[in-house]
Amino acid sequence: MSTLTIEREAFAQEVGFTEGSLVVYLDDGRSVSVPIAWYPRLAAGTKEERAHYELIGDGEGIHWPALDEDISIEGIIAGRCSVESADSLSRWFSSRQSLNQ
């Protein structure tokens, strides 16, 4: 079994979306694409909500204020999806529905 070793930290510079993916453009020239389904809050968000993001720190992470979602670049590169509990996600969906009524 091999272990992921990071030689240099990579930082986000920009974020984009395709039909089914989150794409993060890194400061070292790479882009990393992961399924948007990995992050249920992003998947449930509107195009406008997903487009409004903030880079955390120097680009170590990404924050979506309207979706209350934070994702680390390290996690994206390592291939980690959301680990939010079903109960927490259910409460978030409920609060979101009550705001839209």
pLDDT of residue 87: 94
pTM of the model: 0.86
71 - beta bridge partners?
62
pLDDT of residue 85: 94
CATH topology of domain 12-99: NE0471 N-terminal domain-like (3.30.2020)
Q: What is the pLDDT of residues 14-60, one digit of tens each?
A: 999 999 999 999 999 999 999 999 999 999 999 999 999 999 999 99
Q: b/e map of 49-80 (b: 16 or more CB within 10 Å)? A: bbeebebbeebebbebeebebebebebbbeee
With cut-offs at 50, 70 and 90, classify the pLDDT of residue 97.
Answer: confident
With cut-offs at 50, 70 and 90, classify the pLDDT of residue 101.
Answer: low
Residue ranges covered by each domain of the chain: 12-99
CA dist., res. 38 & res. 99, Å (int): 24
With cut-offs at 50, 70 and 90, classify the pLDDT of residue 3.
Answer: low
